[in-house]
Amino acid sequence: MGEMKHDNSTRAWNELGEEWFELAQTGESRIHFIMPYMLAKLGNVAGAKILDLGCGEGGYSRALAEKDADVTAVDCSEPAILYAAGQAEKQGLSIQHYIRNSNDLFGIEDGSFDIVLCSMMLMDCEDFEGTVREAARVLKPRGRLYASVLHPCFDGNHDTGIGRQGNGIDRQVVVMNYFEPKTWEAPLWRGKTPVVWRHRTMEDYVKTFVGAGLTIVDLDEPRATDKQAKMSVQLAWLQKIPLYLFWELRK
């Protein structure tokens, strides 16, 4: 059995530890916008074998297991996996958990999943190519990869790359350097501990998916519904500028 190789994403997320769990479970855009959207896209998952890659605190894994999917959850962060496993146990959900770098899913067989879910993690991992290669490897033929990432055109390094200007509903995004910088360190929104952030261009994403033999079935730039927009100015602004990108890919 192999041993997980650390890189700067796995180190940063391990050091972040528990800070992420509270942010994830109270973050308005994740709870009311990003997560319901992805779960609706996944639809009826009863009986499906799903790998939640970069599962974090495990919210998606639990939601999918509650819908009778057969879920395996993987993350590079030991605190995240311990927390996710504890929560699953408390709720009586049977989910398998592994601590792995997403670029080396040792112990997980080729062609074993109907669906690989990568929610908001492909912009974080250091080895993106290796991660997509592994996701493709563990998918069954014609299996689906559902992925979301912060939108690379409208989010990035706020000091020197892609900045937010102004406040409220008329806030603007100013793109200063789309191609640079590629990585930087900063806390998560409302967080304290610095984590490694990464910017990948649309071209990086698409060429890597295609290079791994995946076919793009769909791409969405989700926008807030009127109901979501009524919740806050932050969510209302998401009717103007997309926060993230969603892909459905087929092996």
Ligand X SMILES: C[S@@+](CC[C@H](N)C(=O)[O-])C[C@H]1O[C@@H](n2cnc3c(N)ncnc32)[C@H](O)[C@@H]1O
Residues in contact with ligand X by the rule CB under 6 A = 9-10, 13, 24, 54-56, 59, 75-77, 80, 101-102, 119-121, 124-125
Contact at 8 Å (CB) between 56 and 24?
yes
Q: Please, what is the minimum distance in Å from the beta carbon of residue 216 to ligand X?
A: 21
Nearer to ligand X, 9 or 87 (CB): 9
Buried b (16+ CB within 10 A) or exposed e, 237-250: bbeebbbbbbbbbe
Nearer to ligand X, 27 or 240 (CB): 27
Q: Shortest Cβ contact with ligand X: which residue?
A: 56
Q: Distance (Å, rounded) from C-alpha 115 to C-alpha 118? A: 10
Contact at 8 Å (CB) between 81 and 98?
yes
Q: Please, what is the minimum distance in Å from the beta carbon of residue 169 to ligand X?
A: 26
How many residues would you count in the chain?
251
Q: Please, what is the minimum distance in Å from the beta carbon of residue 124 to ligand X?
A: 4
Q: Please, what is the minimum distance in Å from the beta carbon of residue 14 to ligand X?
A: 7
Nearer to ligand X, 188 or 240 (CB): 188
Nearer to ligand X, 98 or 240 (CB): 98
